[in-house]
Amino acid sequence: MITIQGLRKCFPNGLEVLRGIDLAIGDGEVVSLIGRSGSGKTTLLRCINFLEEYDAGEIRLDGTPLWYRAATGGARTRMPEPAIRALRQQMGIVFQQFNLFPHMTALENVCLGPSFAHKRPEAEVKALAQQLLERVGLGGKMRSYPYQLSGGEQQRVAIARALAMRPKVLLLDEITSALDPELVGEVLEVIRSLVLERMMMVIVTHELRFAREISHRIAYLSRGQITEIGPPGELLDNPQDSTLKEFLRRMP
Amino acid sequence: MRFLNWLAAYGPSYGSGLGWTALIALWASVGAIVWGSVLLLIRLSGRRWVNLAVEGYVQLFRNTPVLLSIYLIYFGFPLIGVVWPAVICGGLALVLQNGAYISEILRGGVKAIDLVQFDAAKSLGLSGWGTFRKVVLPQVLVYALPSLGNQVILLVKDTSLLSAISVAELTMNAKLLTEQTGAAYEAFVVVAVLYLLLVVVLELAARSALRAVRWRPRYDAL
Ligand SMILES: Nc1ncnc2c1ncn2[C@@H]1O[C@H](COP(=O)(O)OP(=O)(O)OP(=O)(O)O)[C@@H](O)[C@H]1O
Ligand SMILES: [Mg+2]
């Protein structure tokens, strides 16, 4: 499980994007993050696996504090780089723009993480990668390069690549936003199957119908704070926060 | 007719010069590409004073004649007790100079890499070195292939400067033949043609290497 306490983040230009985030995500739980553009959803996700440094607050994974160590006098220091890498390997992230490596085939993309991180025999890594690609419906496209794949296929490779690390949590940032409408379904189908497997997930999405269907809880982020959180039925059908009401009214 | 007779008589004696030129060009270009990649890695790793040092090195070699480096290494090294064969000294000068250029070329190639790939690499737990080796270098070498080809061609032509320290490569070969036979015109025309052939072969190799690349970048940079 992941616990986030008092997370604050200021960009160097002085913009305070996260202003005290408290959030706990249980094992097997799916939490969707919704909110206006610029409310800090992506930044929060990137802070969780430390693609972005943050200024204050604490993130724990199964009780272990992540990324920073307390130093004397209440200060904190970054963990050593190898420790950070080892912790990152326990989390998977999928980006809006897929971010596949263009010079590697689908299979090589999926193999890269585990073969580098776990130092396992190449054959074992490959077997796992093949299995994952089959699972996302790409058994026939393992030798294709990203430029030969549709957006939906690239995004499924990206999901398989994240899963190959056998992560404890999967962070998904608007993974269908860059896709043509007819390709959205195949990606969401993969996510549904992960929900059934009780994968812990934090999902940033604009697809409220999908969020309602799969989330255990939805969190509404407004100006860097979670102003409302609850089960989809409550939050979407009976919102309390006035900005959330406004936000929902404007959604299709 | 006179030329053909001359060619029949002395043509074969270019064999060893051609061999030396090819050998020097080969080890010096491999060396320069490796050295250029190392300089790139140092520059990307981003320590400020180290970067300044590399920057200074690159400027130094870009702005001085390579013949000067050849002389400095060949005549200078013995002063500090290092006595190496002329081939090694000359080749080293070529590596140092062309490595500087190549690191600049590769740095241009890095700009073609989508920044988001670095996020992806981090999220998979790759180290800086792992990212360089698996993500950066394989792409950069392809993006930079046309310019790298040009640089290697320049390097091949510059091997002729090693004749200044009596390395028995093509140009030296021609010089010696001129002295032996008195036929300066013939001797140097043959060398010119041989360099031309070498360069054409390289040009073709670079092109077919680019054609053999099976991937495409997301934004058509190839
Ligand atoms: N590297 C950065 N430097 C400065 N400001 C940034 C940086 N990255 C994001 N921001 C700003 O921080 C705010 C939050 O950005 P973020 O990407 O987290 O929003 P978001 O909720 O994901 O929005 P969207 O729905 O459009 O993806 C925005 O105002 C954005 O302009
Ligand atoms: Mg975002």
- pLDDT tens-digit profile, chain A (252 residues): 999 999 999 999 888 999 999 999 999 999 999 999 999 999 999 999 999 999 999 999 998 999 998 877 778 889 999 999 999 999 999 998 888 999 999 999 999 999 887 677 888 899 999 999 999 889 999 999 999 998 889 999 999 999 999 999 999 999 888 888 888 888 888 899 999 999 999 999 998 988 999 999 999 999 889 999 999 988 999 888 888 988 888 877
| Distance of residue B132 Cα from the nearest chain A Cα, in angstroms | 13
Q: Is the pLDDT of residue B11 over 50?
A: yes
Nearest Cα neighbor of B165 from B90, B107, B53 is B90
Closest-lying ligand to the alpha carbon of A40? Answer: 1
Residue-wise pLDDT for B157-173, tens only, equals 999 998 888 888 888 88
The answer as to CATH 1.10.3720.10 being correct for domain B2-212 is yes
What is the pLDDT of chain B when averaged over all its residues? 88
How far is residue A66's CA from residue A73's CA, in Å, rounded to a whole number?
19
CB of A39 sitting under 6 A from ligand 1? yes
Residue-wise pLDDT for B46-98, tens only, equals 788 888 999 999 999 988 999 999 999 999 888 888 888 989 999 999 999 99
CB of B102 within 8 A of CB of B153?
no
State the pairing for strand pair A64-65/A56-61: antiparallel
- Per 3-state DSSP, chain A is made up of helix, strand and coil in percentages (nearest 5) of 40, 25, 35
Residues of A in contact with B212 (CB under 8 A): none
Would you call A146 and B215 a contact, using CB atoms and an 8 Å cutoff?
A: yes
Chain-centre distance of CA B101, in angstroms?
A: 9
Residue A121's φ and ψ, nearest 5 degrees, are -60, 140
CB crowding A72-94: b at 16 or more within 10 Å, else e: eeeeeeebeeeebbebbbbbbbb
Q: How many A from CA of A42 to the centre of ligand 2? A: 4
DSSP label at B135? I
Nearest Cα neighbor of A44 from A249, A229, A234 is A229
Residue-wise pLDDT for B89-132, tens only, equals 999 999 999 999 999 999 988 888 888 899 999 999 998 899 99
pTM for this prediction: 0.85
Nearest CA to ligand 1 atom 31: A38
Q: CA-CA distances (angstroms) from residue A130 to A143, A157, A187, A196, B156?
A: 11, 11, 18, 21, 45
Residues 6+ apart with CB under 8 A from A105: A142, A143, A144, A145
Domain coordinates in residue numbering, chain B? 2-212
CB crowding B165-191: b at 16 or more within 10 Å, else e: bebbbbbbbbbbbeeeeebeebbeebb
Domains, chain A, ranges and CATH? Answer: 1-90+215-252 (3.40.50.300)
Nearest CA to ligand 1 atom 1: A11
Residue A218's φ and ψ, nearest 5 degrees, are -120, 135
Residue A91's SS3 state is strand
How far is residue A38's CA from residue A172's CA, in Å, rounded to a whole number?
17
Residues of A in contact with B222 (CB under 8 A): none
pLDDT band at B222 (very low <50, low <70, confident <90, very high): very low
Chain A residue closest in CA terms to B135:
A101
Residue of A8, A32, A39, A174 best suited for mutating to test ligand 1, as the one with most atoms within 8 Å of CB = A39
Chain B residue closest in CA terms to A158:
B120
Residues of B in contact with A147 (CB under 8 A): 215-218
